[in-house]
Amino acid sequence: MVTATGPALGSEMTTSVEPIDDRSTAGVLHVAAIFASHMVLQRNKPIAVFGALNADCAGLEVSAEIRDFDGSVIVQAHAYASKEIKDGFSPWRVMLPAQPEGGPYTLRVTAGNDFIEYYDVLIGEVWLAGGQSNMELELRNSENAEEALESCADPLLRFYNVPKTGVINRNAEHAASWQESSPENSGVMSAVAYYFARKLRDELDSDLPIGIIDCYIGGTSISCWMSEDALNSSESGRAYLARYEQAVAGKTQGQFDLEYSEWQSRSDTWNASIAAAREADPDVTWDTLTQQYGECPWPPPMTPTSQWRPTGPFHAMLERIVPYSLAGFLWYQGEEDEPYCDSYR
């Protein structure tokens, strides 16, 4: 069985992605990667469409419109790109008026002579599933996985996996996509999120699309999902930053690489030993495994690019999809902060 929630996953899962076409860029126009064909947009709330323009296009008008199957415009809105440049780009955000559930539609975003169109777009309920390993546990590794996957085909249940990373990985973002629930696709969904979405599909209108945004990394502290401003706003938050700064102070990139490589080797060896022991004896207890192979080599060494560092996933994952319009979110996190439970409160 493939273990998708072990201690050695995260950004390393995305660094080997081969270069592919940038589906989110057309000329000067850049649309956030979470917008893609087959997506689900939130019903009954203003729909945020957002992205950036090249810096020399600051102030240019950007428009977004939703079109029906016959090409007729259902709703349209526009905004002007900011004149304040951030990371070399001019951010923009268009707010489309709230719409009822429906689809499939086409979403078209235009800036000057450049445009991008997204097809098979549905409007329904969108929920974000976030946190650490309990949320990350994938459907294919959950109890009764085979039975669940055999019956999971549902074109109105769709999901998007935010690439797991501690630094912005645009190539991985280009590879990510919205997918329909199917035996071929849904194994990599969060099991918690899948069963939640399934419950919504069963109990709400049978024609109501449900979208899940999977945004999590196993072993992450609460501080990983917070901004510097949020952490600096309290003594407890500042303590997380101080521990991180102390852990990386004075080290070279070569030291970071060596420490991480050595940890990865120990972690791989431990995981392989545990997997072999459990295959030989499925009923073996964790106490026995710990006596034989020692404690799990966790946490990994801290580095300036680690997905487990304070603010890392916030900037590389969460901030990349904010402010996508949502019905709400699921949050399953806290175990990693057990050593600092008072600060966590």
Q: Is the pLDDT of residue 8 over 50?
A: no
Mean pLDDT of the chain: 93
- Is residue 288 located within the same domain as residue 326? no
- Is residue 243 located within the same domain as residue 218? no
- Is residue 246 located within the same domain as residue 326? no
- Is residue 101 located within the same domain as residue 169? yes
**pLDDT computed for residue 281 by the predictor:** 95
Q: Is residue 255 part of a domain?
A: yes
**pLDDT computed for residue 4 by the predictor:** 37
268 alpha-carbon distance from chain centroid: 25
Band the pLDDT of 19: cuts 50, 70, 90: low
Q: Is residue 338 part of a domain?
A: no
- 275: domain range? 228-310
Structure-token pair, residue 243 = 């521990």
Band the pLDDT of 18: cuts 50, 70, 90: low
- Is residue 217 located within the same domain as residue 237? no
Quick one: which H or E segment has residue 255?
helix 253-280
pLDDT tens digits along 286-344 = 999 999 999 999 999 999 999 999 999 999 999 999 999 999 999 999 999 999 999 89
- Is residue 177 located within the same domain as residue 209? yes
- Is residue 188 located within the same domain as residue 258? no
Q: In which order are the strands placed within the sheet that holds 29-31? A: 25-26, 29-31, 47-54, 89-96
**pLDDT computed for residue 305 by the predictor:** 94
- Is residue 30 located within the same domain as residue 165? yes
Q: Is the pLDDT of residue 6 over 70?
A: no
- Is residue 39 located within the same domain as residue 181? yes
Band the pLDDT of 223: cuts 50, 70, 90: very high
Rounded distance between C-alpha atoms, residue 215 and residue 235, angstroms:
27
- Is residue 29 located within the same domain as residue 144? yes
- Is residue 80 located within the same domain as residue 38? yes
Number of structural domains in the chain:
2
Structure-token pair, residue 263 = 């940890």
- Is residue 133 located within the same domain as residue 158? yes
Q: Is residue 4 part of a domain?
A: no
Q: What is the CATH number of the domain that holds 18?
A: 2.60.40.1930
Least confidently predicted of 10-19, 179-188, 322-331: 10-19
Q: Is residue 88 part of a domain?
A: yes
**pLDDT computed for residue 21 by the predictor:** 79
